Amino acid sequence: MKQITHSEQIAVQVKRLPHGEGLDLPRYATPGAAGMDVVSAEEVTLAPGARHAVATGLALAIPQGYEIQVRPRSGLALKHGITVPNTPGTIDSDYRGELKIILINHGSEPFPIVRGDRVAQLVLAPVTQAAWDVVDELDDTERGAGGFGSTGGHEKL
């Protein structure tokens, strides 16, 4: 199989806030990683069922036409029930405040977060904005107006 490589990188301006000094910038853990690990700039303990916007000590200027998606780290989700409740979270290109990661503890034990801990992944993604086209009728499809579960249950296909 032919190896496909993408070397294009998009510059994203980042500003370290005072409480983010000394912390790693978001970075890819492996060459094939889609998401960059982002770390906490604070110490907090998430009680079971609790939510908290975890400070990162960073502010960003994302280029117009892009967003940064905030996604959970799979290991935290599987092992501890820690996830991002609005997955994927979106950081818009015109937002200039501190990047905070909303986390929730779905686990049964309190979960401590220490300054410098990896808490989520960031994925830079292109954005296509919709232009609404109001029509009187929509085209027909095989599915039609069938909603939740209309294509079958969870059983094998």
pLDDT reported for residue 25: 98
Q: What is the amino acid identity at position 131?
A: A
> 13-126 adopts what CATH topology?
Deoxyuridine 5'-Triphosphate Nucleotidohydrolase; Chain A (2.70.40)
Contact assessment for residue 119 and residue 101, using Cβ atoms and an 8 Å cutoff: yes
96 CB-near residues (< 8 Å, 6+ apart)? 59, 60, 61
Q: How many CB atoms lie within 10 A of CB 17?
A: 15
Average pLDDT over the chain, rounded to an integer:
93
- Per domain, the residue ranges of the chain are 13-126
pLDDT at 40: 98
pTM of the shown model: 0.86
8 A C-beta contact, residue 104 and residue 51? yes
Between CA 66 and CA 125 the distance in angstroms is 6
Q: Which residue has the tokens 């005072």?
A: 18
| 71-119: pLDDT as tens digits | 999 999 999 999 999 999 999 999 999 999 999 999 999 999 999 999 9
